């Protein structure tokens, strides 16, 4: 790496990190104002809100990296163009393609950092954030493990093995202790449906009455279970495609296919993560023709506006295409990569026009 290439790489990295910090701060301010409406609900206070923001920041960082790369490169390359640095570099023998290669090298470093955070930090942090929020807003003690969801409600310990798509529960066990913390009742239900007003309807029930003298078992088809356990408390065990790494998504897709369940949403999320590094490179490449081809008199505000319009437009189109793909069951790899390839083709066409 020569001196000029190293200089461009360092400046692009600095500009991108400043941009992502500003965007992250702005996003967290909006999230903070949104979370204030739940302030005081249960034990959800300012400490929990700031903890929630800290835990969700890695996921937001990962999602904002392409836009930050675009804004950072537009600002830095634009400043170099206004200060005639790019002209001096080209006079020193650095071609336009040499400048582009330096920008792409900076993009490679950004991609490595983004993947490291998005795959190894963000998924666990996002799940922890949801756990902090839900448990603080509810009185129950919650533990989410591979054997299902455990909750505590007074003297009762509740184990939920599965949450259905319609919000009902399956394979539920309820253990109730006496004042001496001895097991008093054990109840198992195949299914539980929320009826409203803190009531669940248990179906196919087996209940054991345990004492020092004997244990009796009885069965019922249905029973009303009065409980403060709310359906939103159980949302933390529902698998969310945005909270999974690529490896977890691949494993879950295989699981769904093996059980003959629909996996289209998770396949699209998997390919979207796979394409995300390409999006960073595309956003960096988009900035080049606007800087090289635009006159030096264009101010910083205009360049930033260009970046915002391009970034927001790309995100909107990408989400629209993704939703259409889910509705009409289009091929997930194609849906994930089509918007990026389209923008890449336009960027290459613009670069070719600039060099011509």
Using CA atoms, how far apart are residues 170 and 98, in angstroms rounded to an integer?
Answer: 60
pLDDT for the residue 235: 60
Mean local confidence (pLDDT), 168-192: 89
Using CA atoms, how far apart are residues 229 and 155, in angstroms rounded to an integer?
Answer: 14
Mean local confidence (pLDDT), 34-38: 92
Using CA atoms, how far apart are residues 335 and 326, in angstroms rounded to an integer?
Answer: 9
Distance from first CA to last CA of the chain, Å, rounded? 27
Using CA atoms, how far apart are residues 15 and 91, in angstroms rounded to an integer?
Answer: 24
Handedness of CA 146, 152, 155, 160 (dihedral sign): negative
Pairing of strands 156-163, 169-177: antiparallel
How far are the Cα atoms of 176, 180, 258 from residue 207, in angstroms, in the given order?
11, 20, 33
How far are the Cα atoms of 54, 270, 276, 288 from residue 250, in angstroms, in the given order?
27, 7, 16, 35
pLDDT at 109 over 90: yes
Least confident of 104-113, 176-185, 203-212, 346-355: 346-355
Least confident of 170-184, 203-217, 237-251: 237-251
Confidence of residue 142 (pLDDT cuts 50, 70, 90): low
Question: Do 349 and 285 form a contact (C-beta atoms < 8 A)?
Answer: no
Confidence of residue 55 (pLDDT cuts 50, 70, 90): very high
Handedness of CA 126, 329, 246, 100 (dihedral sign): negative
Contacts of 40 (CB under 8 A, 6+ apart): none
Confidence of residue 135 (pLDDT cuts 50, 70, 90): confident
| Of residues 6 and 168, more confidently modeled | 6
Q: Per residue in 175-191, is it b (16+ CB within 10 Å) or e — as a string?
A: bbeeeeeeebebbbbeb
Confidence of residue 112 (pLDDT cuts 50, 70, 90): very high
How many helices (H) and strands (E) in the chain? 9, 7
Question: Do 27 and 57 form a contact (C-beta atoms < 8 A)?
Answer: no
Closest CA to 171 of 146, 199, 149, 196: 149
Mean local confidence (pLDDT), 203-225: 88
E-state strands within the chain = 141-145, 148-153, 156-163, 169-177, 183-196, 199-210, 215-226
| Of residues 275 and 240, more confidently modeled | 275
Whole-number mean pLDDT of the chain?
A: 84
Question: Any idea what DSSP says for residue 282?
Answer: H
Q: What is the pLDDT of residues 245-304, one digit of tens each?
A: 888 888 878 867 876 767 888 899 899 888 988 899 988 888 877 666 555 555 656 766
pLDDT for the residue 356: 58
């Amino acid at each position: 790496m020569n001196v000029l290439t190293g200089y461009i790489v360092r400046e692009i990295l600095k500009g991108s990190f400043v941009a992502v910090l500003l965007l992250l701060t702005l996003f967290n301010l909006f999230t903070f104002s949104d979370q204030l409406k739940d302030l005081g609900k249960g034990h959800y206070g300012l400490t929990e809100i700031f903890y929630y923001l800290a835990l969700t920041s890695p996921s937001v960082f990962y999602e904002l990296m392409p836009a930050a790369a675009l804004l950072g490169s537009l600002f830095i390359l634009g400043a170099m163009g206004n200060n005639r640095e790019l002209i001096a570099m080209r006079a020193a023998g650095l071609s336009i393609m040499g400048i582009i290669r330096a920008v792409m090298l900076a993009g490679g470093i950004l991609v490595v950092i983004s993947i490291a955070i998005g795959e190894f930090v963000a998924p666990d942090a996002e799940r922890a954030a949801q756990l902090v929020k839900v448990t603080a807003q509810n009185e129950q003690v919650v533990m989410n493990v591979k054997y299902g969801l455990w909750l505590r409600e007074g003297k009762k310990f509740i184990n939920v093995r599965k949450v259905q798509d319609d919000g009902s529960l399956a394979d539920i066990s309820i253990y109730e202790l006496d004042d001496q913390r001895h097991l008093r009742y054990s109840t198992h239900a195949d299914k539980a449906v929320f009826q409203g007003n803190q009531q669940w309807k248990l179906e196919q029930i087996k209940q054991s009455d345990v004492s020092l003298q004997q244990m009796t078992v009885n069965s019922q088809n249905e029973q009303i279970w009065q409980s403060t356990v709310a359906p939103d408390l159980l949302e933390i065990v529902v698998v969310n495609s945005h909270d999974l790494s690529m490896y977890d998504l691949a494993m879950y897709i295989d699981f769904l296919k093996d059980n003959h369940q629909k996996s289209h949403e998770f396949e699209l999320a998997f390919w979207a993560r796979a394409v995300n590094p390409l999006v960073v490179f595309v956003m960096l490449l988009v900035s080049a023709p606007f800087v090289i081809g635009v006159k030096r008199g264009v101010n910083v505000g205009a360049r930033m506006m260009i970046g915002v319009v391009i970034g927001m437009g790309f995100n909107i189109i990408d989400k629209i295409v993704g939703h259409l793909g889910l509705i009409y069951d289009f091929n997930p790899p194609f849906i994930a990569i089509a918007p990026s390839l389209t923008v890449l083709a336009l960027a290459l066409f613009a670069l070719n026009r600039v060099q011509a």
